[in-house]
């Protein structure tokens, strides 16, 4: 392979037109032809014609870097892949930035990344290349997320699997240490989600009558909107207020305008739009600051305490389940409910199948029409001759 070092001149600050100018301080690049198979090398696309930055402005430094690059590429061509050395912590930070750039939520990513970093530190694993499949499986059994009757472990594991797939694509590791469950079914996370059992109206009313102050308003907000706790506690009266009080992503914070709350779900980034009562809107407006300042764990603990004090067996998410089933039981269209709570119609049908009055009414009508077509009355009885 022939490597050619050249400068890319900054037209605003450099008058030279000589791409081999030895004295100016414009950045140096290398050009070379790759005759092997196209691929990814050290996070860069490797094509036939390549022009890469050498990340230096010194000719002597550039020559040294070209020699080192040439050696690594020869090893790469022979199958002796030498990935970039990245620490687990540095790779995670770069992954978060990548997700931000692609407008992907980092809530679960940072949660799982933090757990991974903590486990690696305890087990003296510093470099990403040192994290093996054995490590991955040992770490997985320490995670607190439920399986069996919940998708929690499966959902969170898929997030960290995405991190290692990204790292492999960047060339930081040879391949992901997460085993493919299709070829290695023994590593598949199996679960069967339990049927959703929302609290009753009496239980919801008991919690609301027990809770006080901002905790009661937060519960009432979830009860009226079907918002999850993590979204409801981020509530801001306006996007301007969200920015004023330093909320992390004001564009995703739920904001109210004329009794309508719009926002993006933290979990999925799905848009939602829901109307609240005038009474609740006035109570929230009267707070005059971010309605629920503090962290998610703090508010989860406060709401759980109110639920426990009320003697009700449910969770903060029970308010979301209750509101959705209340709407569906009243005959609201599945698509409309999905838009109000920021979910897909398919997910609503799958999760709340038994409470969809619209579907039950349609099936009842189909059955009546079938009886009439068979010469029976609409109750399935023989018609008297």
Q: What is the CATH number of the domain that holds 276?
A: 1.10.443.10
- pLDDT of amino acid 243: 45
Do 211 and 306 touch, CB atoms closer than 8 A?
yes
Question: Which of 56, 77, 98 delimits the end of a domain?
Answer: 77
* Pick from 27, 22, 31, 28: nearest CA to 3: 31
In a domain, 355, yes or no: no
Q: Do 69 and 148 sit in the same domain of this protein?
A: no
In whole angstroms, how far apart are CA 317 and each of 270, 283, 347? Answer: 17, 22, 16
Q: Do 208 and 332 sit in the same domain of this protein?
A: yes
Q: Do 231 and 326 sit in the same domain of this protein?
A: yes
CA atoms of 130 and 120, how far apart (whole Å)? 10
DSSP string, 72-121: HHHHHHTT---PPP-BHHHHHHHHHHHHHHTT---HHHHHHHHHHHHHHH
Per-residue tokens: 384: 């008297």
Q: Do 221 and 302 sit in the same domain of this protein?
A: yes
Q: Do 39 and 10 sit in the same domain of this protein?
A: yes
Question: Which of 155, 187, 219 delimits the end of a domain?
Answer: 187
In a domain, 11, yes or no: yes
In whole angstroms, how far apart are CA 63 and each of 30, 69, 103, 307? Answer: 10, 10, 39, 68
In a domain, 338, yes or no: yes
pLDDT per position in the chain (385 positions), as tens? 789 999 999 888 888 889 898 888 899 999 999 988 887 777 678 889 999 998 888 988 899 889 988 888 888 887 765 555 688 999 999 999 999 998 887 888 999 999 999 999 998 888 888 899 999 999 999 998 877 767 788 888 999 999 999 999 888 888 899 998 888 888 888 877 667 788 999 999 999 999 999 999 999 999 999 999 999 988 754 444 444 433 333 344 465 666 888 888 887 788 899 999 989 988 988 876 678 888 888 999 999 999 999 999 999 999 999 999 999 888 888 999 999 999 999 988 888 877 777 667 777 888 888 888 888 888 878 887 6
Q: Do 71 and 114 sit in the same domain of this protein?
A: no
Phi/psi-derived region of residue 124, left when phi > 0, alpha when psi is between -120 and 50, beta in every other case = left
CA atoms of 208 and 65, how far apart (whole Å)? 67
In a domain, 358, yes or no: no
Radius of gyration, CA atoms only, the chain: 29
In a domain, 383, yes or no: no
- pLDDT of amino acid 293: 87
Q: Do 219 and 322 sit in the same domain of this protein?
A: yes
Question: Which of 327, 343, 359 delimits the end of a domain?
Answer: 343
Q: Do 26 and 109 sit in the same domain of this protein?
A: no
In a domain, 319, yes or no: yes
**311 φ, ψ to 5°?**
75, 30
Q: Do 71 and 157 sit in the same domain of this protein?
A: no
- pLDDT of amino acid 167: 92
In a domain, 356, yes or no: no
Q: Do 238 and 179 sit in the same domain of this protein?
A: no
Do 234 and 247 touch, CB atoms closer than 8 A?
yes
- pLDDT of amino acid 250: 36
- Counted domains in the chain: 3
In a domain, 376, yes or no: no
Return the CATH number at 155. 1.10.150
DSSP state of 242: H
CA atoms of 125 and 128, how far apart (whole Å)? 8
Q: Do 327 and 213 sit in the same domain of this protein?
A: yes
Q: Do 141 and 94 sit in the same domain of this protein?
A: yes
Phi/psi-derived region of residue 16, left when phi > 0, alpha when psi is between -120 and 50, beta in every other case = beta
Q: Residue 223 in 3-state DSSP? A: helix
- Enclosing domain of residue 175: 88-187
């Amino acid at each position: 392979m022939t490597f050619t070092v050249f400068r890319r001149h900054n037209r605003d600050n450099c008058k030279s037109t000589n791409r081999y100018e030895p004295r100016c301080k414009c950045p140096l690049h290398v050009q070379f032809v790759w005759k092997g198979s196209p691929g990814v090398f050290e996070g860069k696309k490797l094509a036939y014609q390549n022009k890469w930055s050498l990340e230096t402005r010194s000719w002597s430094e550039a020559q040294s870097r070209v020699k080192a690059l040439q050696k690594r590429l020869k090893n790469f061509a022979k199958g002796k892949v030498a990935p970039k050395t990245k620490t687990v912590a540095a790779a995670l930070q770069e992954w978060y930035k990548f997700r931000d750039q692609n407008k992907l939520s980092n809530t679960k990513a940072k949660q799982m990344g933090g757990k991974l970093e903590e486990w690696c530190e305890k087990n003296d694993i510093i470099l990403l290349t040192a994290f093996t499949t054995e490590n991955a499986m040992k770490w997985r059994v320490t995670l607190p997320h439920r399986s069996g009757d919940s998708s929690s472990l499966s959902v969170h594991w898929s997030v960290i699997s995405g991190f290692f797939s990204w790292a492999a694509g960047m060339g930081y590791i040879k391949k992901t240490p997460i085993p493919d469950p299709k070829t290695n079914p023994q590593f598949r996370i199996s679960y069967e989600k339990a049927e959703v059992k929302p609290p009753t109206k009496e239980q919801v009313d008991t919690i609301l009558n027990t809770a006080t102050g901002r905790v009661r308003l937060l519960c009432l907000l979830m009860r009226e909107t079907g918002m999850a706790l993590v979204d409801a506690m981020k509530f801001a009266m306006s996007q301007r207020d969200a920015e004023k009080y330093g909320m992390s992503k004001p564009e995703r914070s739920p904001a109210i305008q004329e009794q309508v709350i719009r926002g993006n779900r933290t979990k999925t980034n799905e848009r939602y739009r829901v109307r609240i009562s005038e009474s609740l809107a006035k109570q929230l407006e009267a707070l005059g600051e971010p309605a629920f300042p503090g962290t998610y764990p703090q508010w989860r603990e406060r709401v759980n305490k109110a639920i426990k004090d009320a003697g009700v067996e449910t969770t903060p998410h029970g308010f979301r389940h209750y509101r959705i089933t209340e709407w569906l039981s009243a005959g609201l269209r599945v698509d409309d409910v999905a838009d109000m709570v920021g979910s897909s119609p398919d997910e609503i049908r799958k999760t709340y199948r038994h409470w969809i009055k619209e579907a039950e009414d349609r099936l009842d009508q189909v059955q009546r029409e079938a009886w009439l077509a068979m010469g029976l009355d609409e109750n399935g009885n023989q018609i008297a001759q």
